[in-house]
Amino acid sequence: MDILQYTDEHKAFRQRLKTFLANEVTPHVDQWEKDHIVPKEAWQKMGKKGFLCTWASPEYGGMNGDFLYSVIVAEEMAKTNHTGLCSMLHSDIVVPYINSFGSDEQKKKYLPDCISGDIITAVAMTEPDAGSDLAAMQATAEIDGDEIVLNGSKTFITNGINADLVIVAAKNPAEENVYQAVSLYLVEDGTPGFKRGRQLDKMGFFSQDTAELFFSNCRIPKENLLGQQGMGFMMLMEKLQQERLMCAIGGQAAAELMLEWTIDYCKTHTDASGKPISKLQANQFAIVEMMTEVKLGKAFLDQLIAGHAAGENVIVETSMAKYWITDLDNRIASRCLDLFGDFGLTEDCPIARGFRDVRVMSIFAGTNEVMKGIAAKFMGL
């Protein structure tokens, strides 16, 4: 029995998305990988078809879908074998901050365009000297009359080049308690004092525009404070369960896809004797072992998806899933590459891109060491 119960509406939505991706995304992925960016028009096409922020209220132009719609989008996007059109980050990590903590005015101003794809979002937490430890951030936000003045730098920001709206985490230097010093702010593209640095040249995620952002006496109106002053740390913590769950969902889909490629390759390519290499016992054992782990990950993940959709606190289990599934991605990628042999090293082979792309998944959204630390703490260790 399947843990997740998809309705006919879910299935029809998945099929529409598959058709859209086959026509509007997959044919362009190789070019986007070469360009190291996805054109904004692709985001707008996706939004106009209703594939962004599927959870959003019809009041803002959304479809009011349940969490399974987000799962479907994450899974199908992973099958395109690229990361540039990072709809999962936009729809299920960044924009929910606005929906949950934004004022009525902020939601009316930004949500419709976030849903349509006319606004692409990013969240700026990581700094050159502050990665997983948010309390160590150095970016500051100081009140000056009716304005807030931001200073500091951020790095490894996904959608950093394309972003029209950035949620920036910064701290009040006058507040001694670091956990009460952090607030979140909305910074629009074109704001004086907000500049983009270089687009980072990465070992993978080629089509994803990851960038540095700089804030130098960047003045925004007080109304651009997101939520309450000093509650930024708590707001970030509240949303991390979904962020890490989405990371695990994408990782699970990637593992399944890489194994699917490998099985197909082994069935259709022969050894020196003319037999499919899938008939070699060593290869059979490798595939069976990988498939077992993939199925274990799927069962665990589906249970967490169901719990999260029901509003349960599964932060410990999600931390476990995030670390285990993204570690699994790296094991699967390495072992599948062995089965492809020399062909796996060429850019004509999809596993080459998959191998590069999954490596960072154990690092972002909180390193896997941090995930284990969270679980250990809640286990009373």
Q: Which amino acid is at 123?
A: V
Q: Which amino acid is at 323?
A: Y
Which listed residue (243, 293, 317, 369) is catalytic? 243
Residue 157, SS3? strand
Could you tell me which residues come within 8 angstroms of residue 8 by beta carbon, excluding any fewer than 6 positions away? none
Question: Buried (b) or exposed (e) across 145-182, using 16+ Cβ within 10 A?
Answer: eeebbbbbbbbbbbbbbbbbbbbbbbbbeeeeeeebbb
Dihedral pair phi/psi, residue 132, rounded to 5°: -70, -20
Dihedral pair phi/psi, residue 364, rounded to 5°: -80, 170
Q: Reply yes or no on whether 369 is catalytic.
A: no
Tell me whether residue 95 is exposed, middle or buried, using C-beta atoms within 10 angstroms of its C-beta: 0 to 12, 13 to 18, 19 or more.
Answer: buried
β-pair partners for 151: 140
- 364 neighbors 322 (Cβ within 8 angstroms): no
Q: Which of 175, 205, 159, 125 is nearest to 43 (CA)?
A: 159
Q: Which of 153, 157, 156, 175 is nearest to 166 (CA)?
A: 157
In order of 136, 220, 247, 333, the CA distances from 168 in angstroms are 15, 11, 21, 34
β-pair partners for 150: 141, 218
Both structure tokens of 117: 């794809």
DSSP string, 172-189: -TT-SSHHHHEEEEEEET
DSSP H helices in the chain: 8-24, 29-35, 40-48, 67-78, 87-89, 95-101, 104-116, 178-181, 232-268, 281-309, 315-340, 350-358, 368-378
Catalytically active residues are: 243
